[in-house]
Amino acid sequence: MNSELLLDMIYVSTIASIISSQAIQKIKGTLNFGKIGNSIISIFLSTSIGICYALCFYTSNLLYAIWIGLFTLIGAEGLYKTFNGFFGLESKSKTNGAEVEKNK
């Protein structure tokens, strides 16, 4: 399993999640489509923002962009907290901090 690639995709989807959540809140504030309509728009907007962001700023591979769109929909921050420590995924700051403490 390529844990570096997975971690990179989660980082990118975290940024896309921030953008999509702000866009969804703006749309919900201005337009009222009802509970079901807002849910459908949220799903569509979150996924499409994740895919477009990934294609523009991260990769030209459509498969990776779709995965990033899915991570954006689910919530990248929650995914990162869930997978942190599993599959060899650790934040770079924790790794660097551990190395610094070992060297002291």
pTM of the model: 0.69
Q: How many structural domains compose the chain?
A: 1
Q: Count the neighbouring beta carbons within 10 Å of the beta carbon of residue 45.
A: 17
In this structure, what token pair is assigned to residue 44?
Answer: 């569509």
In this structure, what token pair is assigned to residue 80?
Answer: 């990162």
Q: What is the pLDDT of residues 43-97, one digit of tens each?
A: 899 999 999 999 999 888 899 999 999 988 888 566 666 666 665 555 554 444 4
Cβ–Cβ < 8 Å for 6, 89: yes
Residue 85 gets which letter from DSSP?
Answer: T
- Containing domain of residue 15, as a range? 3-103
Residue 34 gets which letter from DSSP?
Answer: H
